[in-house]
Chains A and B, each alone.
Chain A
Amino acid sequence: MVWYVELGWALLKLVIAVMFIFITALILIWMLRKQMGHMQYRRGPRHHGPHGIFQTVFDAIKLLGKEDIIPAEADRWPFIWAPIIIFIPSLTIFAFLPFAEKIVATNIEISLFFVLAIMGLSILSLVMAGWSSNNKYALLGGLRSAAQMMSYEIPMIISVMGVVMMAGSMNFTQIVQAQQHMWYIVPQVVGFFIFFTASLAEINSTPFDMPEAESEIVSGFNIEYSGFRFAAFFLAEFVNLFIICALATLLFLGGWQPFTNPVYGTVIFLVKTYVLIFIAFWIRSTFPRFRIDQFMDFGWKVLLPLSLVNLFITGIIVLVVDKAGGA
């Protein structure tokens, strides 16, 4: 096609993706407040709109109107760029997630590999925020988050390898198509739990939210951020949660199966993702948080050996089944 039509088409897809992400973040924040409220015998927001669905919009507008304060002794450029950089991995990953059989922004051969590689970039932005704030609480929070995210990348990636071995490909569409007869959660139960736990640790959600532990270091690395920069960190956390749950749905819960129709496929994909998001919020409102060294113990001494054992057993079973099928 002509080059400007191609460009316009790509820009339109980009705009739709970004709008979808922000609207999803707003919906998720509303869902968290309502769900956590009902789990604590109270109602969540109620006044703006029926059942308070416009509350987040008004909160974002309020945050936009606040004064933009940069501390005098802070490092200016990392301080300003940290909330922008935190969105880059999320938006990039979003381009690779398929919602239905043919609905995907870009489809490459190794999309899972690329997604897992890009996810590690968000560590950079948290450390930048922690260091440049020139505040001891923020420094503690930033360093904690760097240690946490690096040590939980490994079990997460290894637990996904079992799925890759069973499906035989690293492309999301092919992995979902390989789950036609049985969703991968059934043979890979351990892998699913490890992936879910490790990815909750990746995105700093309770019970792994030491970097922003409110009771000790009062909001950790976002202590000096106010106004829309703080809103950027806050929204990014929920966008990451959506991405994690979407990944878990694609890899373990069968994506858009059993429908191949694009509309029904998208709907069932979103329903499965929102069930996982409900479970993540449920965990968030019940459990206390770990201490940093218990948390490192858990990651290195429990999750990593479990994921290696899972990989080993899956490999043996796939080999045996192949040999038996071939012979």
Chain B
Amino acid sequence: MFEENELVLEDLPKDYMEVNFGPHHPSTHGVFRFVAKVDGERLVEVEPVIGYLHRGIEKIAENRTYVQFKPLVDRLDYTGALNNELCYCLTVEKLMEIEVPPRAQAIRVICAELNRIAGHLIFFGAMGLEVGAFTPLLFGFLDREYILNILETVAGGRLTFNYFTIGGVRQDFPSDFKQKMDDFLKVFPVKLKRYEELLTGNEIFVNRLKNIGVLKKEDLFNWGASGPTLRGSGVKFDIRKVEPYSGYEKYDFEIPVGKNGDVYDRYIIRMEEMRQSARIIAQAADSLPGGEHTAKVPRVLKPPEGELYVRNEGTKGEIGFYLVSRGEKNPYRLKIRTPSFSHLNMLSFALNGNYIADAIVILGSFDTVMGSCDR
């Protein structure tokens, strides 16, 4: 009797609430916006919107010479700027076949690893802030001050350096550098232990991070992930071991690898990477070779014609520069491959089905920085 008027529950039109986590948000790591459709507290569909920090760096590169463009490369991933410079200098040196002296290589390794520690300390602070603890942020930034003070005496800057040149480094280490390095390396493991006590062992924190945002190996390969995000799912791939550059094959260090692929593993990997970086710095500072700090390069750089792609392990993943040169003073085309752009592509399948609170934590674990994503 009631067949025609029966309402089937699946046919009722459902309307999800659309929430906009806008560009002004305390925890979307920079000016990043995503529009989410929310069913209660669970996310159903996520659409990221980027481009708020686009500065046209790749186009600017076509109108500057190689030396003039180098300060702009710092501003891509501004939390770990020296790694970007290292990749750019390696690209141009490989194209022009310039041999970098071993002292410059060791100096580059020390500065790049110091910058890696500084970048991971920002991650530690931001992770604490995502889950609601205010104190780790201030602890992270306090220890970052010590590193930035050391880098200021060496490189001349705190956030953007312009220190590596094509062929070496701009100036040599000051005379009291060894003393400062030893002081830093004595204090740093104690600080790391304090961070472990404050955040890593905390039961509330562990419950917030474990089994959240599990990513499988195959998905990560398909989307081009790299760096600690990839290593969290059990893939032992680090460009410093696979294609060593700038003398990394001389140093002895390990690569931490996660098991489950959840947010907690990615967090632990980054904390462990800080220890390994300190190990590399200790070895490099002990065995610093003498010699020149820069090679002889011509005043006006005109690389031969050709194209090549060089990559290195930045703080957040793989940074790559694809350079096309037609033999002139300016590059013809310079394409920059950054890890944050590839990781933000993964949002659609990494965030769906999670609570809002978990979604923010997963986004924090990718550790994106918008200067690198938008270029």
Contacts and interface: CB of A to CB of B under 8 A. Distances in A.
B99 interface: no
A286 B356 contact: no
A42 interface: yes
Interface string A207-243: 1011001111110000000000000000000000000
B138 A287 contact: no
Nearest to A139: B17
Point out which of A36, A285, A288, A293 has the most chain B C-beta atoms below 10 A from its C-beta.
A288
Nearest to A213: B132
B208 interface: yes
Contact of A215 (B129, B142, B205): B129
A301 B289 CA distance: 63
Contact of B355 (A40, A209, A292): A292
Contact of B135 (A40, A207, A214): A40
Nearest to B359: A216
B135 A285 contact: yes
A301 to B, nearest CB: 14
Contact of A293 (B128, B132, B355): B355
Point out which of B26, B133, B142, B198 has the most chain A C-beta atoms below 10 A from its C-beta.
B133
Interface residues of B, number: 29
A40 B134 contact: yes
Nearest to B133: A288
A287 B204 contact: yes
A212 to B, nearest CB: 10
B25 interface: yes
A40 B27 contact: no
B222 interface: no
B202 interface: yes
A286 B131 CA distance: 12
A289 interface: yes
Contact of B132 (A39, A218, A288, A292): A288
Contact of A289 (B25, B131, B135, B199): B131
B134 A216 contact: no
A40 B141 CA distance: 11
Interface string B144-173: 000000000000000000000000000000
Contact of B27 (A39, A137, A215): A215
Given A41-B138, A140-B41, A292-B357, 17 more contacts: A40-B139, A213-B132, A215-B27, A216-B357, A217-B356, A287-B202, A288-B128, A288-B131, A288-B133, A288-B208, A289-B131, A290-B207, A290-B208, A291-B207, A291-B357, A291-B358, A294-B207
